[in-house]
């Protein structure tokens, strides 16, 4: 026996795209199982298996454009059963109609609509009363729309339509009792139907046969618990079973059908399942819908070119990394900034007095090394500023070393080289190291080791300007000192206003590790140290 080539049936339009391949080589399929899903400009449609059998080879892939008669897949022949089964199954166009069609077989559906019967599927019991008729002649319905509702002593169940089309005749009324195979409605189904329905099919179109070993009752209604585990098993092992109409609403709502539990026969996903899934998602607490549980709303994408010319440039890698770090710190660390100012009049006099000496030794003595020295002293005095919190925020880790990072502005973005053991170094050494590290940062020559191990950070905008700012803590450090431009201000000395050079200090801190009073004491201590640098010697 040679394998049978299954072809694309009449799909009611000139061409369609394969949007899903539901089977693979080796799969065992049953008649009516979905093989592929096609999408034309008019509709989405499944091509069902014409019979039970094994897939030998899939001849199409997602994205392929197909028309009626194109080779779809190869199915293993089943001892001549192919021809005999052809008329029963809604088979696609037979490859060689001349080869073996049974006399009553209609190999290919005409493009025009056909009248089909819909009969009661296997409902697990006989003579089940109709409690609701959901359609009337002339109704246009989609596949899986309920036709009637039946209520047995075990369960209430809907009989869904196996096709999309127009109801031409309703054969039942409320109060009738129905059994498997009873005629429910007649429907006019558009040309997408691959074969015409025989007048009295040996198997009703909506029959879903239970597995041989399964008691009939468990297959009767999708809502019955006994059917539940069976469906779960099927769901896990088979490709998604859903009709085009269901796939369409899933796409409209952006629902991943693999996450939806099908409540239809053989775990088929019904419209209601998608609707219930969407409802459940919408009623989930907001925090569960976003990563990290922070509930941060996404920034909208705005087309700025609507209002004028724009130019788009990619951020440097450094800026992208810095952006992430800033955001992480800003979101994780409860920031508070303590503002203060320090009288550095005498310090500045001393610094200027050292200019010649600095030049002589090739150094540049800015206020920064003095800040470093004063901060190192304060960090030793107040070790909670030279510390980090554990990620669980249940411990504080005090660092016995004093390494201070210095924010350096570079053309590519901000870098923070770390000056190690600041407490052990003199002013000249610190001044030289500041210059060397800033130069390395601007020339992209910093080694990873030179940017690690910090306990505290200084961000100096003193050479640029500004009166104060709120720096972002360089987490997991717990504090950062921002320095703005020193300015001469009139200060009351007890008898008169005197011009004093005042340095603005902005200390941002992690309020989980440091409280406000400690922060105020820290900046006061810095002010005291800087106002008379001799204090550092004490």
For residues 75 and 483, which CB has a smaller minimum distance to ligand CAO in the complex? Answer: 483
Answer for which of 34, 338, 342, 460 binds ligand CAO (CB under 6 A) is 460
For residues 118 and 408, which CB has a smaller minimum distance to ligand CAO in the complex? Answer: 408
Q: Could you give the count of Cα atoms lying within 13 Å of 321 in the half-sphere of its Cβ?
A: 8
Answer for which of 235, 332, 459, 523 binds ligand CAO (CB under 6 A) is 459
Tally the residues of the chain: 538
Interaction between residue 461 and ligand CAO (CB under 6 A): yes
Q: Are 162 and 245 in contact (CB under 8 A)?
A: no
- Other C-beta atoms lying within 10 Å of the C-beta of residue 236: 8
Dist. CA 436–CA 159, nearest whole Å: 81
Q: Which helix (H) or strand (E) holds 397?
A: strand 396-398
Answer for which of 463, 467, 470, 535 binds ligand CAO (CB under 6 A) is 463
Q: Quick one: which segment of 42-50, 202-210, 445-453, 458-466 binds ligand CAO (CB under 6 A)?
A: 458-466
Interaction between residue 485 and ligand CAO (CB under 6 A): yes
162 CB-near residues (< 8 Å, 6+ apart): 118, 143, 205, 206
Answer for which of 5, 83, 217, 414 binds ligand CAO (CB under 6 A) is 414
Residue 26 gets the label, from left (phi > 0), alpha (psi -120 to 50) or beta, of left
What residue is closest to ligand CAO based on CB? 462
Torsion on CA atoms 482, 484, 487, 491, rounded to nearest 10:
-30
Minimum CB separation of residue 428 from ligand CAO in Å reads 14
Catalytic residues: 511
The CA distances from residue 525 to 227, 358, 424, 451, in Å, are 75, 27, 19, 27
Minimum CB separation of residue 417 from ligand CAO in Å reads 9
Q: How many helices (H) and strands (E) does the chain have?
A: 12, 27
Q: Which helix (H) or strand (E) holds 288?
A: helix 286-289
Q: Quick one: which segment of 87-95, 192-200, 272-280, 406-414 binds ligand CAO (CB under 6 A)?
A: 406-414
The angle, 0 to 180 degrees and rounded to 10, between the axes of the packed helices 367-381 and 427-442 is 110
For residues 503 and 513, which CB has a smaller minimum distance to ligand CAO in the complex? Answer: 503
Interaction between residue 194 and ligand CAO (CB under 6 A): no
Interaction between residue 486 and ligand CAO (CB under 6 A): yes
Beta bridge partners of 415: 408
Minimum CB separation of residue 62 from ligand CAO in Å reads 48
Q: Quick one: which segment of 155-163, 178-186, 298-306, 455-463 binds ligand CAO (CB under 6 A)?
A: 455-463
Dist. CA 332–CA 296, nearest whole Å: 12
Minimum CB separation of residue 343 from ligand CAO in Å reads 13
Answer for which of 130, 434, 502, 529 binds ligand CAO (CB under 6 A) is 434
Residue appearing with tokens 């869904």: 160
Minimum CB separation of residue 347 from ligand CAO in Å reads 11
Q: Quick one: which segment of 87-95, 221-229, 480-488, 510-518 binds ligand CAO (CB under 6 A)?
A: 480-488
3-state SS string for 190-206: CCCCCCCCCCCCCCCCC
Dist. CA 142–CA 140, nearest whole Å: 7
Per-residue tokens: 524: 């006061």
For residues 249 and 326, which CB has a smaller minimum distance to ligand CAO in the complex? Answer: 326
Q: Are 417 and 408 in contact (CB under 8 A)?
A: yes
Could you tell me where the DSSP H helices lie in 293-366? 317-332, 345-353, 355-360
Q: Are 503 and 345 in contact (CB under 8 A)?
A: no
For residues 408 and 419, which CB has a smaller minimum distance to ligand CAO in the complex? Answer: 408
For residues 250 and 347, which CB has a smaller minimum distance to ligand CAO in the complex? Answer: 347
For residues 42 and 317, which CB has a smaller minimum distance to ligand CAO in the complex? Answer: 317
Q: Choose among 216, 214, 211, 225: nearest CA to 179.
A: 216
The CA distances from residue 111 to 67, 145, 490, in Å, are 13, 23, 95
Minimum CB separation of residue 38 from ligand CAO in Å reads 56
Which residue pairs from 290-293 have beta carbons closer than 8 angstroms and sit at least 24 positions apart in sequence? none
Minimum CB separation of residue 518 from ligand CAO in Å reads 23
Answer for which of 149, 366, 384, 531 binds ligand CAO (CB under 6 A) is 366
Answer for which of 210, 243, 471, 527 binds ligand CAO (CB under 6 A) is 471
For residues 206 and 486, which CB has a smaller minimum distance to ligand CAO in the complex? Answer: 486
Q: Choose among 166, 184, 188, 187: nearest CA to 174.
A: 184
Minimum CB separation of residue 481 from ligand CAO in Å reads 11
Minimum CB separation of residue 483 from ligand CAO in Å reads 5
In the region spanning residues 367 to 386, those forming contacts with ligand CAO, defined by CB under 6 A, are: 367-368
Count of residues interacting with ligand CAO (CB under 6 A): 20
Answer for which of 91, 148, 189, 406 binds ligand CAO (CB under 6 A) is 406
Site string for ligand CAO, 316-355 (x = CB under 6 A): ----------------------------------------
Q: Coil, strand or helix: which one is 476?
A: coil
Give the residues lining the site for ligand CAO (CB under 6 A).
Answer: 366-368, 406-409, 414, 434, 438, 459-463, 471, 483, 485-486, 503
């Amino acid at each position: 026996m040679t394998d049978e080539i299954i072809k694309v049936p009449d799909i009611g339009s000139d061409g369609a795209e394969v949007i899903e391949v539901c089977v693979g080589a080796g799969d065992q399929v049953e008649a009516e199982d979905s093989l592929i899903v096609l999408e034309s400009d008019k509709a989405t449609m499944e091509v069902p298996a014409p019979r039970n059998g094994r897939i030998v080879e899939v001849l199409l892939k997602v994205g392929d454009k197909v028309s009626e008669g194109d080779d779809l897949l190869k199915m293993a022949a089943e001892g001549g059963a192919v021809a005999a089964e052809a008329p029963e199954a809604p088979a696609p166009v037979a490859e060689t109609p001349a080869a073996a069609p049974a006399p009553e077989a209609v190999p290919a559906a005409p493009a025009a609509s056909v009248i089909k019967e819909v009969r009661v599927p296997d409902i697990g019991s006989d003579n089940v009363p109709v409690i609701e008729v959901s359609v009337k002649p002339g109704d246009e319905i989609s596949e899986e729309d309920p036709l009637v509702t039946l209520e047995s002593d075990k369960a209430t169940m809907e009989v869904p339509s196996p096709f999309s089309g127009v109801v031409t005749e309703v054969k039942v009324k409320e109060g009738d009792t129905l059994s498997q195979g009873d005629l429910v409605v007649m429907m006019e189904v558009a040309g997408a139907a691959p074969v015409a329905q025989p007048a009295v099919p040996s198997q009703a179109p909506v029959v879903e046969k239970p597995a041989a070993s399964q008691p009939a009752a468990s297959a009767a209604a999708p809502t019955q618990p006994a059917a539940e585990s069976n469906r779960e098993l099927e769901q896990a092992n088979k490709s998604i079973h859903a009709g085009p109409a269901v796939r369409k609403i899933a796409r409209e709502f952006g629902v991943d059908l693999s996450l939806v539990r099908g409540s239809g026969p053989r775990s088929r996903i019904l419209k209601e399942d998608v609707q219930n899934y969407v409802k459940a998602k919408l009623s989930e607490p907001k925090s569960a819908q976003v990563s990290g549980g922070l509930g941060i709303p996404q920034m909208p994408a705005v087309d700025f070119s609507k209002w004028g010319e724009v130019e788009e440039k990619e951020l440097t890698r450094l800026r992208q990394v810095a952006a992430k770090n800033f955001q992480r710190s800003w979101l994780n660390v409860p920031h508070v900034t303590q503002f203060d100012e320090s009288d550095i009049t005498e310090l500045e006099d001393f610094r200027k007095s050292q200019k010649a000496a600095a030049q002589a030794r090739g150094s540049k003595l800015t206020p920064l090394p003095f800040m470093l020295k004063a901060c190192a002293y304060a960090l030793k005095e107040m070790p909670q500023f030279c510390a980090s919190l554990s990620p669980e925020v249940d411990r504080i880790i005090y660092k016995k070393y004093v390494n201070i990072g210095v924010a350096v502005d570079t053309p590519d973005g901000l870098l923070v080289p770390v000056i190690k053991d600041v407490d052990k170094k003199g002013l000249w050494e610190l001044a030289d190291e500041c210059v060397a590290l800033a130069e390395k940062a601007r020339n992209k020559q910093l080694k990873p080791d030179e940017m690690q191990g910090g306990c505290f950070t200084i961000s100096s905008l003193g050479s640029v300007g500004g009166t104060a700012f709120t720096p972002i803590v360089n987490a997991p450090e717990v504090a950062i000192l921002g320095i703005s431009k020193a300015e001469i201000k009139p200060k009351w000395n007890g008898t008169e206003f005197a011009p004093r050079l005042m340095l603005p200090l902005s200390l941002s801190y992690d309020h989980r590790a440091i409280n406000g009073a400690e922060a105020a004491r820290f900046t006061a201590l810095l002010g005291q140290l800087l106002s008379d640098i001799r204090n550092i010697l004490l």
